[in-house]
Chains A and B, each alone.
Chain A
């Protein structure tokens, strides 16, 4: 874990923390930062506004302006992240649907071609569920699915249609295979898709500034801790939400292999 901290993916160990604990961790870090800041930095920052008449009104005005921009940014980022997860989920469902249609097509082939092709598709589906998904959950693009897709393609091309009906089914299977490949590639592309680092810097900087502005309020220390702590806790929750949706296949808000599991069950029941 410590080695990973220095690498670009250093923070992704966080995805392995159970969601409730991760949520508490985010809140704890933000509230802790606010409280420590209130103790360490607040006295320094307060120097700038101490002698200003109506300083709380000014700080309140600045905070509300800042919150509009920051809230907008945070909202848009959350929506973008959710959209990313949602799109990736749709791609997964489409890939499974294309695979299902392909399975139906090759079921019409005469044996042993049909049987070989069905086995290869089952093998692919099984691999996706049992091996590809756990890798994707770790942010790794699975590679051996490509081998299975190639094996299927090779076998598909070996088939020589003997009747006009077989020609039609074969043409449809080839078209369906290309559709399947397209969705498959989109799934693989989305394994590593995430918010750019710049967005994270802006979000984190915004959160820090938000809290720093709150330190400028002149109020009882305990009140400062309580009210600021509430704000920091909510910021932590928002950050946790965005972090959870940052990568479509990781975290609590992630895409499951359910479409493939349903398909595999159907393949085995057929």
Chain B
């Protein structure tokens, strides 16, 4: 390190500073040129390019009275998103899921939906009750974005900004009533209508009453209870007193536990007075004691016990991801299919923009789901659905006792219930008929 040795060298043998600098610079550049490809090959500064993502919102209650059912729907849609991501994403983008919790509260549904749209979610899959859907639809209309709604509902609605993945009454309640009043269902004539107190049960019952009227029948009773209501002892007494030979049950959520418990306590025989439910699936059955529900019925588009290879594979894949004891049911299956339909639409459109997607929707879309082929009806933006009727087994599964011969086309405005009303988005949109008043 001392200068003595260097200064002892003959001046002629030492390179000048200028020469040293020139040689050093040349050597550095040569080294940089040689090393650069190895260091930074394939990417700038060796940094892997950030994965391009597309934001998607899942608006399902994860707390509150409807959480158990809605959480399963959320999981089915997360599963679909993950499947899509594993296969390369949508239009080369990975789906970035945001799943806030509206806590089963209408005001929070609006706020969370707004936050999702503000954050740029190109598609929002969500809502469970019709009240929650109706609370957010104006927001989607105002921003011209699309809401993908997977749950069966009452119909009597057609928004250009909603893609409806669930069943409407002409696909669920009407065939269920046909079965009940037909010989296979025991030629029932005294039907009691029981539901939770909100839009879906009230409108569904209105459709049921109008349909029964076309057959010259009238319900022997009708009752509504708030969501979360649990003591049905008095109601069951009223059902018995009415002489009903069957109950059409549109109760949603945990209230079913109280209802079936009261029914069992009153020793109502499911053979003599079966309950046909529209909002009970495998997930809800877990909360109900098998002895209390065995032999009753549920109407749906999908049951876990559906004996097809596609269904078995789907259940296996879902359980591998979410747990060996997880159930699948309606609306998990339509919810799952909706995500895939959205993917297909975006890819066909080559864009995530609403206008481009809508153009594709107008041409119709299909997806081979676990429950069979799902077809989106371009006229109504609703899906064609199989009708399936299941009898509850002791193992909390369903024996499928009735199945439609083909998927039933959707009709959100059946003529017998909403005369003059029609919806065809390919031909001018909604055609309004006389105002219909729906009450209890």
Contacts and interface: CB of A to CB of B under 8 A. Distances in A.
B242 interface: no
Interface in A98-136: 111-112, 115-116, 119-120, 122-123, 126, 130-131
B75 A123 contact: yes
Nearest to B41: A21
A42 B322 CA distance: 64
A159 B251 CA distance: 22
B181 to A, nearest CB: 34
Interface residues of B, number: 37
B111 interface: no
B17 A151 contact: no
Contact of B323 (A122, A131, A148): A122
B1 A16 contact: no
B3 A151 contact: no
Nearest to A54: B2
Interface string A212-228: 00000111111101010
B359 interface: no
Q: Is the interface of A mostly helix, strand, loop or mixed?
A: helix
Contact of B46 (A17, A56, A155): A17
A126 to B, nearest CB: 7
Interface stretch (B20-28, B382-390, B417-425): B20-28
Contacts of A154: 63-64, 67
A147 B108 CA distance: 14
A150 B63 contact: yes
Contact of B3 (A1, A24, A218, A227): A218
A7 interface: no
A268 B322 CA distance: 8
Given A111-B286, A126-B322, A222-B20, A147 B46 contact: no
Contact of B287 (A16, A112, A225): A112
A18 interface: yes
A120 B70 CA distance: 13
B47 A147 contact: no
B322 to A, nearest CB: 7
Contact of A119 (B3, B6, B100, B323): B323
B240 interface: no
A25 B68 CA distance: 51
A119 B98 CA distance: 20
A111 B285 CA distance: 12
B322 A16 contact: no
Contacts, number: 87
Contact of B286 (A22, A115, A122): A115
Contacts of A144: 98-100
Given A39-B21, A148-B62, A154-B67, A24 B100 contact: no
A57 B124 CA distance: 72
A122 B322 contact: yes
Contacts of B2: 56, 219
Contacts of B99: 144, 147
Contact of B17 (A16, A35, A130, A221): A221
Contacts of B21: 39, 221
B324 A268 contact: yes
A17 B47 CA distance: 5
B71 interface: yes
B93 interface: no
A13 interface: yes
B286 A21 contact: no
Given A115-B286, A148-B62, A16 B47 contact: yes
A220 B47 contact: no
Given A123-B75, A150-B101, A154-B63, 4 more contacts: A35-B28, A112-B286, A148-B62, A151-B101
Interface of B: 1-3, 6, 17, 20-21, 24, 28, 39-40, 45-48, 50, 62-64, 67-68, 71, 75, 82, 97-101, 286-287, 321-326
6 contacts: A21-B39, A119-B325, A150-B62, A154-B64, A218-B3, A225-B24
